[in-house]
Structure 1
Amino acid sequence: METIRTSKFCQSCGMPMKKDPQHGGLNKDGTKSADYCSYCYVNGEFTFKGNAKEMQAFCKEKMIEQGSSKFLAWLFTRSIPWLSRWRTKGK
């Protein structure tokens, strides 16, 4: 039986995949995405259409709304531009 490698973090928003209630987004064919969470990826398309900097701001705001400190929100979102979704953009 073949096991599918799953990213430890969503490669769009950086959220730990184990925190995703759906355990991954859905590809166009209905299979689970190994790289993107269910908040970022639905039916083979990204739900957030902005750029990496805008994604950072969006995620920081959501984390603060959910009770995280501004410092922790900054800390956990600072690596978003280096996630695979954003690194491959424009190549």
Structure 2
Amino acid sequence: MPMEEENLLGTERNGAKTEEYCLYCYEGGEFKQPDITLQGMVDLCAGYLVQNGMDEADARGLLAETLPLLKRWRQESAS
């Protein structure tokens, strides 16, 4: 997700903000849902986008294109 505001940034163990992950996914140096799969994240996030007025197919397409580019999911697909 675009994190244009500092209050959307996740935090490391020492409380420092990280620009790599948002506060919804990462807090205190740990993922909030460490076992979620890429598909699970698509499913979860699609629901939020639909609630905000996006067509579900468009939301899923956008997420399927963008989430695999993020650091967390690049690591998952490399293993």
With the shorter chain as reference, the TM-score category is: 0.7 to 0.9
Which runs of at least 4 in structure 1 moved beyond 4 Å after TM superposition? none
Name the residue aligned to 1:72. Answer: 58
Identity %: 30
Q: What CA RMSD, in Å, does the superposition of the two structures yield over aligned residues?
A: 1.9
Name the residue aligned to 2:75. Answer: 88
Cα separation, 1, equivalents of 2:54 and 2:21: 22
The count of corresponding residues between Structure 1 and Structure 2 is: 76
Structure 1 spans left out of the alignment, 5+ residues: 1-14
Name the residue aligned to 1:11. Answer: none
The alignment status of 1:48 with 2:33, answered yes or no, reads yes
Pick the structure with more helix per residue: 2
Structure 2 spans left out of the alignment, 5+ residues: none
Higher relative contact order (CA 8 A, sep 6+): 1
Amino acid aligned to 2:2: P
Pick the structure with more strand per residue: 2
Name the residue aligned to 2:17. Answer: 32
Cα separation, 2, equivalents of 1:48 and 1:27: 15
TM-score, L = length of structure 1: 0.71
SS at 1:25 equivalent: strand
Deviation at 1:82, TM superposition (A): 2.8
